[in-house]
Chains A and B, each alone.
Chain A
Amino acid sequence: MQLLEKYSHTSRDSLIPILQDVHDELGYLSEESLSAIGKHLNVPTSKIYGLATFYNQFRFQPKGKHHIQVCHGSSCHLMGAVTLLETIEKILKIKPGQTSRDGKFSLEVVSCVGACAQSPVISVNGKAYGKLTIERLEHIVEELSSTELT
């Protein structure tokens, strides 16, 4: 938890930035990190957990190798984001917020990514795919699952 050294002046204000940094570093918030932050800031771990679950950004399971984000803005909803999501759930057998057992895939539903012209949109590890159809999605997922875990 060297990250915490950056925040030597302890105050409640910096709790969210700390959580964000840890989240960026680990890809999720682990139990140990939450209690370490609690000790550092002198705030009960339960409070921190309560705060972290409140916001959409934080995950509590490690990210998979391919982190799939499905946009669920109103435009993407109109263009069939729900069907896309169902397809992904069916292929990968995971629900939003979860990570597949082999650690290859994780799934997240996000609100509008702001690319409504390209809807429906998903992004995999930050690379966005627009104007998706189910066929293209299946193709993308297939391609991703055939890549070796390194």
Chain B
Amino acid sequence: MEKVTTDSIKFCVENIIASAPTEDTKYINDKLSILRRNNISIPIVYLGITSSSIVAGALEVRDAIDEYIAEADIDIELIEVGSVGLCSIEPIMDVQLPGKCRVSFQQVTPELVQQILDGVLNNFLPPDNILAQYRNPIHQPWANVPFFDELSFFSSQHRHLLANCGFINTLSILDAFAFGRYKTYANVLRTHTHEEVCKIIESSGLRGRGGGGFPTGKKWRTTLEAAANQKYLICNADESDPGAFMDRMLIESDPHLIIEGVAIAAYAVGASIAYIYTRNRYQFTVQRLEEAISQAYEAGLLGYNILDSGYSLDLSVKKGPGAYVCGEETALIQSLEGKRGMPTLKPPFPATKGLHGKPTVVNNIETLANVPLIVANGADWYNTIGTDKSKGTKLFSVSGKVNQVCFIEVPMGTSIAKVVELAGGVQPGRTLKAVQIGGPSGGAVTPQELNTAIDFEPLKQIGVSMGSGGITVFDDTVCIVDMVKYFMQFIQNESCGKCIPCREGSQRMCAILDNITKRPSNNDQHSTLERFKGVIQLESLAEVMRDTSLCGLGQTAPNPVLSALKKFRDEFEEHTFDRKCKANVCHNLRTYYIDVEKCTGCAACAKKCPTYAIIGTPRTPYFVIEEKCIGCGICEEVCKFSAVFFK
């Protein structure tokens, strides 16, 4: 196996990356074949390690594999890879024997490691836990094991950004070289002017993936044409939508794609300093990224006079201390300058006056990940993917009440139903209630609207914004009012407090939503009227917030409320008037009952009830007075005979 040494990196840079093909192609092809692990001499074990699989226990599995390797009498290599996208069945371990196809196992536990490895090394596949195998024409396939491209999860995606995710060694830049990374970058440095790169991106029609959908080429052009002695490029990787995790997975699975994208973009706009802004708390992501950057420096692909082109670029990771509003570009710049992350008025746009007053391009990480692919394959190729107005693919992370929590890549214009289907749909016996797109700035989509194409404009028509790509699926056990309240609380916490509509508006909205999910102490007609008025005010409040807030956070914050009010009005009414939560999520609206069959009359609940709503005589079944019950649930907790239930 090729070790990462200064020589091997130098060889790659000189022969694979930097120069045109030489006569000695056979030698290089042989070398590539080794690097791509087509030709291996010892068995290799691959383990997907990402911040998601670590929670699933991947580190324990790694220890078990290490132990196995130490005890085995043959040489085995362990390689850390990223994630293929199937998060629910992690940890995923692959095994590749010389001459055989690489085969994947799902839901591996430390106990299973020995069993699986013992089996595979003796050419026998343990029947359980097999996921699939990788197709490779020069390898002999395993019998009765599906290929990855035969699984519908993979065959119905368009994996361009994710092509190498979960496949390549994330810790080695040699792998990145072998699978085509940095080739485009070197080519750009050698043959393209800044102007030409901008032009390619402009004609590709790439739109910002952070949620705004602003044409990337236009932004770049403005910065390129601005006169300044210093320009900056910032890659926004501060993924902070709750429920969105695909950007982190992309960094952890293919960090060099990001670095290449950032480097090409920085070259295109003429920036000599670039930052990747991510979050301090995403320690594993930061660690992977920093490792990859130091490798790129070592290979001479970053730093002073890159590949003798005369172009210099400094790239570093900035660890944001965590604020949702820093996803807004002006707030992000403020945060980089060591201030509170508060948005500023636009114009001036950062493209002309950004970090330290210099022209600055702020792009989402997914946007930049698209760049190397577009430049390599041309704008025409990119134009064949996606819809008329939005080109290319989009990453989504699908979570919530689905069978398969995953992150996927589909062309723009794919229907929402398809995305839900890729995630395996809702659990058996449950029905789909809504799909939340775009996290706290997006909105809910009803089952009737599932055929809507995922694209900026069609989504807008049904009152939803694309956001960054986090999709949360709700089934019938989810209360929409509760979810809206959750998103509103999130916004209230994250509102920077600079402009009044957002600061006060989010607080008022939270209070109103709180009011309709809470049981009042006096249930008279006046308070019912007040609650009703609250729901009406929600709408006008939301409109004011949308129209008058300073930045995107405040303007999109009422979206979940507005879309839910429109589409799930009956549920709001049920909460307001009937004081019932159908999904039984809103604790305060529950009324408890005692099962006469199970109650032994121990009086434990009656003693604990804060409103003395439970009455009865000892050793005979007790009874709850509905009007007095406040739904606190203490009786359910203290009952040893599970006689207390709620409706």
Contact = CB atoms under 8 A, between A and B. Distances in A.
Nearest to A119: B399
A20 B280 contact: yes
B337 interface: yes
A55 B51 contact: no
A110 interface: yes
B319 A20 contact: yes
Interface in A87-120: 110-119
A75 B331 CA distance: 27
A117 B323 contact: no
Contacts of A14: 338
Given A13-B338, A16-B335, A112-B244, A118 B321 contact: no
B87 interface: yes
B56 interface: yes
Given A20-B280, A57-B280, A78-B400, A114 B341 contact: no
A35 B641 CA distance: 57
Contacts of A75: 242-243, 399-400, 405, 472
B241 interface: yes
A28 interface: no
Nearest to B497: A54
Interface in B477-491: 478, 483, 486-487, 490
A15 B338 contact: yes
B242 A51 contact: no
B232 interface: no
B56 A115 contact: yes
A114 B320 CA distance: 17
B54 interface: yes
Contacts of B241: 112
A128 B55 contact: yes
B281 interface: yes
Interface string B400-413: 11000110000000
A83 B496 CA distance: 28
A117 B90 contact: yes
Contact of A55 (B55, B243, B321): B321
Nearest to B397: A116
A74 B483 CA distance: 8
Interface residues of B, number: 49
Interface string B304-345: 000000000000000111111000000000011111110000
Contact of A74 (B56, B324, B439): B439
Interface in B214-231: none
Given A111-B242, A112-B245, A74 B436 contact: yes
Contacts of B244: 112
Contact of A56 (B243, B323, B478, B486): B323
Contact of A113 (B51, B87, B405, B439): B51
Nearest to B50: A114
A118 B88 CA distance: 7
Given A20-B319, A110-B281, A116 B245 contact: yes
Contacts of A11: 338
Contacts of A121: 55
B474 to A, nearest CB: 7
A130 B60 CA distance: 14
Contacts of B478: 78
B245 A114 contact: yes
B321 A57 contact: yes
B294 interface: no
B391 to A, nearest CB: 28
B248 interface: yes
A63 interface: no
Contacts of A20: 280, 319, 321
B240 interface: yes
A116 B51 CA distance: 11
B154 interface: no
Interface string A131-144: 00000000000000
B341 A54 contact: yes
A65 interface: no
Given A54-B496, A110-B281, A117 B87 contact: yes
B337 A12 contact: yes
Interface string A31-67: 0000000000000000000110011111000000000
A16 B399 contact: no
B243 A73 contact: yes
B269 interface: no
A86 to B, nearest CB: 9
A117 B323 CA distance: 24
B156 interface: no
Which 5 pairs across A and B sit closest by C-beta, in order of nearness?
A: A116-B399, A117-B87, A55-B321, A117-B405, A114-B245
29 contacts: A12-B337, A12-B338, A13-B336, A50-B340, A54-B341, A55-B322, A55-B341, A73-B242, A73-B399, A74-B242, A74-B243, A74-B439, A74-B483, A75-B400, A75-B405, A78-B472, A78-B478, A111-B240, A112-B240, A112-B242, A113-B55, A114-B52, A114-B248, A115-B56, A117-B52, A117-B88, A117-B90, A117-B406, A121-B55
Interface of A: 11-17, 19-20, 50-51, 54-58, 72-75, 77-78, 110-119, 121, 128-130
Interface of B: 51-52, 54-56, 87-88, 90, 240-245, 248-249, 280-282, 319-324, 335-341, 397, 399-401, 405-406, 436, 439, 470, 472, 474, 478, 483, 486-487, 490, 496
Given A12-B337, A74-B472, A114-B52, 11 more contacts: A13-B338, A56-B322, A57-B321, A73-B243, A74-B486, A78-B472, A112-B242, A117-B52, A118-B52, A118-B56, A129-B55
